[in-house]
Structure 1
Amino acid sequence: MKYWRIKAPNEDVPLPFVTKVVAGIGTEELAQYILDAMQALVPVSHCTVFALQANGRVSALSTASAHGAVATITAVDYYSNRFDLLDSNMTWLSRKRSPARSQLWMSHQFAEDVSDLKYRDLCYTKPGIRERASILLLDCQGLRAAISLYRNLSFALFSERDFETITRCAPVLHEAVLAQVRKSSRRAVSDELHHRILTNLAHREKQVISYLLEGKTSRETAALLELSETTVLTYRYRAFAKLGIKSQRDLLTTLDRLPANLGAPKKRQ
């Protein structure tokens, strides 16, 4: 098992690679987009994107295989057997503190480097994995993640030129994973807020919030609901208190769509 620090690349990353990776941000198939983008530069058979959470557990942001669902099946075995505690990438990342400036590292591991026989059998031998090359992210904002590229037995070993190409792509992949984590976090907050709207708000409060999400002003909402503007403002801020937000801006920046089952109310006849 080897680790080395990635230095700033001297060459630009091909634009098609950047375009393909960026297209995957915000989707559940980010690893597939990375895999497809890498194929034109460095042939690989699988790709996984794992992040180390604050509680020490590993979360799979995305997995992909060139053929079938091998990576997904292997990830299930990885989680159910707590192989994250044995994974050299994750144990290495867990020992690192967040740096003042973000760092990128490379690691390289052969299947025979995995000492635990069960881990090696389920995650390397059965899926036919020969070796793993990983980009390790130590972000200054606290993110620690591993983007791993695998080669199965049908591929030749990674060459020095392959490692150079992977390290050249590392900054783009770093930014993509960082953006993916940010989008996932915002989505989780948004989903929670949707739930609160549907379960915590009274009927009038839901109506007022619905019109607010459509961009209606307090005056327009008051006219549509045949209420005074003061009453609309009262419903609005009562709803804000129940939702745990402080302003219209908080609401609009968190929610990017109307919650399910909360269509805009019909205008009173």
Structure 2
Amino acid sequence: MQTLRLSETEDLSDVTAAVLAIGRPAFSCALMDALSRIAGVDHCMVFAFHGERSVRPQLDIGSVSIAGELGAAYADHFHLADPNRDVIFGKAASAFPILLPAFSRRMYNANYAKMFFEDAGIVDKVAAAIWVDYSCFYVNLYRTRKRGPFTQDQVGRLSRITPTVAAAVARHFQGESLLDEDPFQRLEALFSRPPLIRLTPREKEVCVRILSGLGSETISADLGIGLQTVLTYRKRAYGKLGISSQNELFAIVLRLASPQFVRQ
């Protein structure tokens, strides 16, 4: 089993609230909160491509004051001048999220750069895309002039989480109504897949509650079992999964949520 560094599992666990909010009104805010904490993202915009000429803004949240105008202009005609189009449509058959090339202002023509970077005060971005059937969800994460470009560490952190972010965004905007599905039940559903399927029913119950943010004493009261029993189930579960921490458990769940979670 591949071992993730602590910083990587912490980044993934930070996205958990957004994953659990898929299909709910809180999704956009939960996603933006996570992106801001992890890498100081100032604004997030998502576009959906339905064919090469049909583009629709899907998400616009953050601190860029003219983002609404940018979204409308991009969907109207500026998408044709986006240098990322070639990569996006060149990988239309990909079943996995696409991490797009590092931002460079010289990639863009003068009109595009003026409106989307100079006028908007945007100085850097990290972008990813994911295809779901015949639609593509294009995720753009921006940094503004006020705080300057992303640091190398922030770019690295975003590169690690954008596959999960893209998958979560795609699932949220696929149009499936998840409003009646309880987040607790959504977590439990993930335990029907490897490697989580290895766990006994009690081990699963304990791990679901750990992922939901409950402490050991609360889990003990909720399940009506002793505290030491909770700790024993947790130890057995972690042993079967080859992990040693809550962060690694989060990482397993979020890998299951991206991108296979999207294609169910």
TM-score category of the 2 structures, normalised to the smaller one: 0.5 to 0.7
C-alpha separation in 1, matches of 2:136 and 2:49? 5
Partner of 2:98: 104
The answer to whether the aligner puts 1:63 opposite 2:56 as a matched pair is no
**Which structure carries more relative contact order (alpha carbon 8 Å, separation 6+)?**
2
Alpha-carbon RMSD: 2.9
Match of 1:20 in 2: 18
**2:70 equivalent to 1:74:** yes
Which position in structure 2 is the counterpart of 1:41?
A: 38
2:87 paired residue number: 92
Report if aligned partners of 1:133, 1:149 keep a CA contact under 8 Å in 2.
yes
The one-letter amino acid of 1:104's match is: I
Q: What is the match of residue 152 of structure 2?
A: 160
Moved segments of 4+, more than 6 Å:
none
Normalised to the residue count of structure 2, the TM-score between the two structures is: 0.56
Change (3 A) 1:70 1:30: farther
For residue 119 of structure 1, what is the aligned residue in structure 2? 112
* 1:171 corresponds to: 163
* Matched letter for residue 75 of structure 1: G
Query: Does the residue aligned with 2:150 lie in a helix, a strand or coil?
Result: coil
Query: CA contact under 8 A between 1:20 and 1:34: conserved in structure 2?
Result: yes
Identity %: 17
In 2, the alpha carbon distance for the partners of 1:103 and 1:48 equals 16
Q: Which has the larger radius of gyration?
A: 1
- Secondary structure class of the residue paired with 1:109: coil
- Which deviates more from structure 2 when the two are superposed, residues 120-129 or residues 10-19? 10-19
The amino acid across from 2:173 in the alignment is V
- Residues 23 and 70 (structure 1 numbering): CA distance in 2 closer, same or farther, change over 3 Å? farther
* Structure 1 unaligned residues grouped into runs of 5+: 1-7, 188-269
Query: Aligned pair in 2 of structure 1 residues 58, 30: CA closer, same or farther (>3 Å)?
Result: farther
What SS does the aligned partner of 1:154 have? coil
Q: Distance in 1 between matches of 2:146 and 2:22?
A: 27
Q: Given that residues 35 and 66 in structure 1 are in contact (C-alpha distance below 8 angstroms), is that contact kept between their aligned partners in structure 2? A: no
Q: Write the mapping of 1:224-235 to structure 2, written as runs, cut at 5 A.
A: none
Equivalent residues of 2:123, 2:144 under 8 A apart = yes
**Residues of 1 paired with 2:114 and 2:41: CA distance?**
20
The one-letter code matched in structure 2 to 1:74 is L
- The aligned residue for residue 233 of structure 2 is none
Q: What is the aligned counterpart of 2:124 among 121, 124, 131?
A: 131
Q: Using structure 1 for the length normalisation, give the TM-score.
A: 0.55
Please tell me whether the aligned partners of residues 43 and 141 of structure 2 are also in contact (alpha carbons under 8 angstroms).
yes
1:58–1:153 CA distance, 2 compared to 1 (3 A): same
